[in-house]
A and B are shown apart, each in its own frame.
Chain A
């Protein structure tokens, strides 16, 4: 039994003045194992972000059940943290105050005394390499730095499951590669709990998915559904040499074959 289980999950958006009801996806069955890095790829409109939002508890599915550790997910919880494509940093908070935001104002705010909170935050500032920028405001940071800050904020809140919604989608190609390397380095290296947390990572990029994932869920569109689940058998720790290997190419080609037709259609 996985840490997160989706059973016959479907999402239909109600009809609006602009158009009829749309099925985002349907009949999604998914078991996410504790400690695995799961990527979800698929063309635009396959509902992968919606699925992630449902796991987060930000949206409720119109069919089926998603549960975590056997309990139905009914709303957001600090157990499941999230990383957003647009970073979603609080612009009136400095880097430091963003990172400690959940610890200070969340439902678990009384869990730690102030000094322990600061220790935790300090650990993640160091881990993501933001030393010296603690007093800066988000608008003073580059895109890569913003996402590092958001990652530290996510990890500092000590969630069990990390949900990432195309977190590197707005970054330039080089920064993106650097942050992918950083993410695999940081994953499981948290000072407080040195074990790998479950990650669900939504991306457009096949290369990114192959580089990061243990398993890749390929979604199709019209209606959105799971087409295939590919196991990535690349050894860890992964790094620059991983991308140069022949197995990396084989896997990306395999996934591209799986997605090509729908990607072309989605691009029309």
Chain B
């Protein structure tokens, strides 16, 4: 009898009292974990910098933070970030303007597909970075060089995802459009093209990571300003703290770019299956 009472008591307490706090404390720990990781990383960095004791090789985090603060305060960082983001946007616009129609064409016409696809498959595996030296010879240090590299990197995922999205329009939807009385051109405009937008956005998000990497690399030697240029510049004059500050900013910039594209995707294609569960 007494055992049963104890059992019942245990049940009652685990259902009501003790279970809840344990769940809450778990979520607190879980939500704290990323910050613990950041603190641990800074700590290791601090210790390493302390033992090296040479700010030119590895400045401590506080030194980098103050460099970051200075560059934010005098507007240099903003100017460079704006320059880089502007090139990214420009490159992306070119990639969409050229890549999306080509993708639609590949999906609509077998001949176009057979013509374009082999070329794409041969060129696509070549890294955007591999083109930088040639671009430097042709374009010189300029706005055009990083824009070209970004457009090159972004165009393939945009093109191929657009084609896949257009081809993925189900027979069912095409039939529905036909029995509703849409002509072939109306079907392309109102059924195939909306599907293409989904592909463009998916491709853009897939291409953004690579484009950001290529942007920094292209700006090292191919641009008169920007985040990549600044990393290279401060490395050259051995201002390591400033250099690391800009490295951190490129990481943050990549993150912001992905967030922005995700937001744009949500706005432009709120029905997209890629957004489900986010």
Residue positions of A touching B, CB distance < 8 A: 56-58, 75-78, 80-82, 84, 86, 88-92, 101-102, 105-108, 137-139, 153, 157, 163
Interface centre among A56, A106, A138, A139 (most CB of B within 10 A): A106
Given contacts A57-B179, A77-B181, 20 further A-B contacts (CB under 8 A): A76-B178, A76-B179, A78-B179, A82-B176, A84-B175, A88-B175, A89-B176, A90-B176, A92-B194, A92-B197, A92-B269, A92-B271, A102-B180, A105-B190, A106-B181, A106-B186, A107-B181, A107-B182, A139-B273, A157-B180
A137 to B180, Cβ gap below 8 A? Answer: no
B276 at the interface (CB under 8 A from A): yes
Closest chain B residue to A163, Cβ basis:
B179
In the complex formed, the residue of B with least CB distance to A88 is: B176
Main secondary structure of the interface of B (DSSP, over half): helix
Q: Is the CB of A88 within 8 A of B194?
A: no
Counted as pairs of residues, one from A and one from B, with CB atoms less than 8 Å apart, the total is 73
In the complex, chain A residues whose CB is within 8 Å of the CB of B172: 84, 86, 88
Nearest residue (CB) in B for A156 is B180
A78 touches B271 (CB 8 A): no
Measured CB to CB, the nearest residue on chain B to A107 is B181
Once the chains bind, are B181 and A76 in contact (CB under 8 Å)? yes
Instruction: Provide the bound-state CA to CA distance between A238 and B175, in Å.
Output: 32
B175 near A58 with CB under 8 A, answer yes
Q: A103 — nearest CB in chain B belongs to which residue?
A: B180
B181 touches which of A78, A89, A163 (Cβ 8 Å): A78
B191 interface residue per 8 A CB criterion:
yes
Residues of B within 8 A of A101 (CB): 177, 180, 190
Q: List 29 A-B contacts (CB under 8 A).
A: A56-B175, A57-B179, A58-B175, A75-B178, A77-B179, A80-B179, A84-B176, A88-B175, A88-B176, A89-B176, A90-B176, A90-B194, A92-B194, A92-B195, A92-B269, A92-B271, A101-B180, A105-B182, A105-B186, A105-B189, A105-B190, A106-B186, A107-B181, A107-B182, A108-B181, A138-B271, A153-B180, A157-B180, A157-B181
Which of B173, B176, B189, B271 is the one whose CB lies under 8 Å from A139?
B271
Give the distance in Å from the alpha carbon of A82 to the alpha carbon of B270 in the complex. 27
> Which chain B positions have C-beta within 8 A of A58?
175, 178-179
- Please give me the residue from chain B that is nearest to A59 by CB atom: B175
With A88-B173, A90-B191, A90-B194 already in contact, the answer to whether A82 and B179 are too (CB < 8 A) is: yes
* B183 interface contact, C-beta 8 A: yes
Nearest B-chain residue to A137, judged by Cβ: B271
Q: Is the interface of A mostly helix, strand, loop or mixed?
A: loop
Give chain B residues whose Cβ lies under 8 Å from the Cβ of A75: 178
* A84-B176 Cα distance, complex, nearest whole Å: 8
What are the residues of chain B within 8 A of A106 when measuring CB–CB? 180-182, 186
Contact call B271/A82, Cβ cutoff below 8 A: no
Which residues of chain A are within 8 angstroms of B194 by Cβ–Cβ distance? 90, 92
In the complex, what residues of A have CB within 8 A of residue B186's CB?
Answer: 105-106
Contact A56 B182 (CB under 8 A): no
Q: What chain A residues lie within 8 Å of B198 (beta carbons)?
A: 92
Are the C-beta atoms of B179 and A81 separated by less than 8 Å?
yes
The docked-state distance in angstroms from the alpha carbon of A138 to that of B270 is 11
B273 contact set on A, CB distance < 8 A: 139
Give the top 8 A-B pairs by smallest Cβ distance, nearest first.
A106-B181, A78-B181, A102-B180, A88-B176, A76-B178, A92-B194, A88-B172, A82-B179
Closest residue to B270 on the A side, CB-wise?
A: A137
Distance in angstroms between the alpha carbons of A106 and B190 in the assembled complex: 10
Partner of B180, one of A81, A92, A138: A81
Residues of B within 8 A of A84 (CB): 172, 175-176
Q: A80 to B181: give the CA distance in the assembly, Å.
A: 9
CB neighbours of B182 from chain A (8 A)? 102, 105-107
B155, chain A: closest CB distance, angstroms = 24
Min Cβ gap A89→B in Å is: 8
Q: How far is the CA of A91 from the CA of B194 in the complex (A)?
A: 9
The CA of A56 and the CA of B197, in the complex, are separated in Å by: 30
**In the bound complex, CA of A58 to CA of B189 (Å):** 20
Give chain A residues whose Cβ lies under 8 Å from the Cβ of B183.
107
The answer for the CA separation of A163 and B177 in the assembled complex, in Å, is 14
A146 smallest CB distance to B (angstroms): 12
Is B181 a contact of A139 with CB atoms below 8 Å? Answer: no
Give Cα A102–Cα B175 distance, bound, in whole angstroms.
12
Which A residues touch B180, using CB under 8 A?
A: 78, 81, 101-102, 105-106, 153, 157
Give per-residue flags for B170-213: 1 if the beta carbon is below 8 A from chain A beta carbons, else 0. 10110111111111001001110011011000000000000000
Nearest Cβ on chain A to B153's Cβ, whole angstroms: 28
Is the beta-carbon distance between B181 and A90 smaller than 8 angstroms?
no
Chain A residues within 8 Å of B173, by CB:
88, 90
A77 to B179, CA, bound (A): 6
Max count, chain A CB within 10 A of own CB: residue among B182, B195, B270: B182
Separation of A153 and B191 alpha carbons in the complex (Å): 16
How far, in whole Å, are A58 and B171 apart by their CA atoms in the complex? 11
Min CB–CB distance B165 → chain A (angstroms): 11
